[in-house]
Amino acid sequence: MKQFAYLGVLAVCLLGTGLLEVFLRARVYRRWLRLILTLVPVVFIFTHWDIYAISQNHWTFDSDYVTGKIAVANVPLEEVCFFIAIPICSILTLEAVRSMRSWPVGDEQASQNTHELNTSVDSNRTGGDEQ
């Protein structure tokens, strides 16, 4: 079981923030296409950073606590999972704060001036679509 320690940490992060999707209606997983399109460049860039860092011996992994599976080049599976899990947790946090506080994020701009979209936002706000 020890070899699942790193993956276990990520699983706890995803399970914890998963509650935000359900109880605060963060609606991040529900917007899965937008989520995937966010993750692709992030995973690409940070995996390349990781390839360089591992090749330069910036960091190493204790073989007792990782599965030993390599995702790509010299990068362990766990690292790629990290670059998927942490952005998801971050986005869920942002959307959970928005759910609680309704502070502007910057992506509501185009919808603010149109009556039609305001109406649909209002119907979301009363929770009518999720009962």
CA distance 100 to 67: 38
Torsion of CA 69, 11, 124, 95, to 10 degrees: -90
Is 69 a binding residue for another protein by CB under 8 A? The answer is: no
Q: By C-beta, is 48 or 73 nearer to another protein?
A: 48
Number of residues that bind another protein (CB under 8 A): 71
Convert residues 92-131 into a mask of x (bound to another protein by CB under 8 A) and - (unbound).
-xxxxxxxxxxxxxxxxxxx-----x--xxx-xxxx-x--
Burial class (CB in 10 A: 0-12, 13-18, 19+), 26: buried
> Rounded to the nearest whole angstrom, what is the least distance from the CB of residue 40 to another protein in the complex?
9
Q: Which of residues 46-65 bind another protein (CB under 8 A)?
A: 46, 49, 52-53, 56-62, 65
Restricted to residues 15-34, the positions that interact with another protein (CB under 8 A) are 16, 22-28, 30-31, 33-34
Sign for the pseudo-dihedral over CA of 10, 80, 84, 61:
positive
Please, what is the minimum distance in Å from the beta carbon of residue 1 to another protein?
14
Among 18, 35, 51, 77, indicate the residue that binds another protein (CB under 8 A): 35
Q: Which is nearer to another protein, 8 or 72 (CB)?
A: 8
Phi and psi angles of residue 99, each rounded to the nearest 5 degrees, phi first: -60, -40
Could you give the CA distance from residue 41 to residue 74 in angstroms, rounded to a whole number?
Answer: 19
